Structure 1
Amino acid sequence: MQAFLERASRWLALVCRVVAGLALVALLAVTIADVGTRYLYRLTEGAIALRVTGSVELVSYLMLCSLLAAMAANVEKSQVVVEAFSHGLAPALKHRLHGLYLLGFAALGLVLFLGLLDSAAAATRHGEITQDLRLPMGPIYQVAATLSLLLGLRSLIHALLGAVFGVAQEVSGGE
């Protein structure tokens, strides 16, 4: 069971890292294209008037995806252990306490997932669209809900590994 959970966590982390990386690359591409076209406009004194429509909107939604995916990918590495409270404790007990702490992140991921899923349904029902690009908001909320679910799932997996099995939260570097 422990090996299955560790393997599932590694695969979910890989998926989340790919999503975060792709979102960051797209975010950078949109930003570079926007800055480049503005500079080209100024350089040619308005002769070339190319624009990246909705760049602020694109950047904000790509940032949302990259942050949620990165949080989900690194949930087991992101917590700071306060040595003042756990200095004299056995390593297995430290891992169990950390696992209990990660249950809060699992709950947070579930609450975000349910809230975003509800927002996606409401946006789809009411035909809510983005301001600049006129994209439907439902799928955007659904992607954010899925990434929040992955955050909750990975947190739950590492909470179980720590609280139940008493193993370290660090995932090996061979991901």
Structure 2
Amino acid sequence: MVIATVRRVARVMEGGSLILGAICLFYMVCVVGVNVLARIIFDATDTAVNLMIPGAIEQVSYLLGIVALAGLTASMAHGMIAVDFLVARLPSLGQALVARFWFIGMVALALVLTWLFYEDMLATYARGEDTQDLRLPMFLIYGLYAAQSLALAIVALREVLTSHGDHGEMT
């Protein structure tokens, strides 16, 4: 019952992370591409035409954290990718135990990140902090980071409960 619920929630979290990561990555590529072309025009016209996107570096830098966390969450669907000389020689039970130990560490790391980003979200909300260029509320960014870290923790928990030691490069 508990494992089935964790699996169901983790599947939703993986899907959400994959969609969020894809949207953010697509947006990042578009912003960088447009800015590169705009910079070429800017230089070719001797600074007369400036089509660069305001705050592009800021946008991309904040989205990069979301993309990294979303990618890590979504990538756990098929187990961890490992280059292991020793673990591959273990019996299947030993491989499962090593994998579960690894995912326990991932759960702990993700929960610590969730807590830290949540605390930053509360602190930046209380102070009313905004981003430097675009004046976006910082608590929204930290809130997304906290949500992605929580998604990572849930997916890693599912792997702790269900992992058989299979590796992503073998499936």
Verify same fold: TM over 0.5.
Answer: yes
Q: How does 1:1-175 map to 2 (within 5 A)?
A: 1=1, 5-75=6-76, 76-80=78-82, 82-87=84-89, 89-162=90-163, 166=164, 168=166
Find the aligned partners of 2:14 and 2:167 in 1 and give their Cα distance.
13
> How many Å apart are 1:86 and its aligned residue?
4.7
Letter in 2 for 1:142: G
Find the aligned partners of 1:140 and 1:90 in 2 and give their Cα distance.
44
Find the aligned partners of 1:3 and 1:167 in 2 and give their Cα distance.
19
User: Cα deviations across residues 78-129 of structure 1 (Å, max 9, x unaligned)?
Assistant: 3415232450x32133113211220110011110001000000000001111
Letter in 2 for 1:61: Y
> How many Å apart are 1:35 and its aligned residue?
1.1
Find the aligned partners of 1:85 and 1:142 in 2 and give their Cα distance.
37
List gaps (5 residues or longer) in structure 1: none
SS of structure 1 residue aligned to 2:131: coil
Find the aligned partners of 1:145 and 1:80 in 2 and give their Cα distance.
27
> How many Å apart are 1:45 and its aligned residue?
2.6
Query: Does structure 1 retain, via aligned residues, the 8 Å contact 2:79–2:165?
Result: no
Query: Does structure 1 retain, via aligned residues, the 8 Å contact 2:98–2:165?
Result: no
Please provide the CA RMSD for this pair. Answer: 2.1
> How many Å apart are 1:18 and its aligned residue?
1.2
> How many Å apart are 1:44 and its aligned residue?
2.4
> How many Å apart are 1:5 and its aligned residue?
4.4
User: Cα deviations across residues 15-40 of structure 1 (Å, max 9, x unaligned)?
Assistant: 21111111110110110111111111
SS of structure 1 residue aligned to 2:28: helix
Alignment coverage as a number of residue pairs: 167
Q: TM-score, normalised by structure 1?
A: 0.85
More helix by share: 2
> How many Å apart are 1:155 and its aligned residue?
0.4
Letter in 1 for 2:85: E
> How many Å apart are 1:143 and its aligned residue?
0.2
Segments of 4+ moved more than 6 angstroms: none
Q: 1:81 to 1:43 in 2, by over 3 A?
A: closer
Query: Does structure 2 retain, via aligned residues, the 8 Å contact 1:95–1:169?
Result: no
Q: 1:77 to 1:168 in 2, by over 3 A?
A: closer
Q: 1:4 to 1:122 in 2, by over 3 A?
A: closer
> How many Å apart are 1:7 and its aligned residue?
4.4
Letter in 2 for 1:11: V
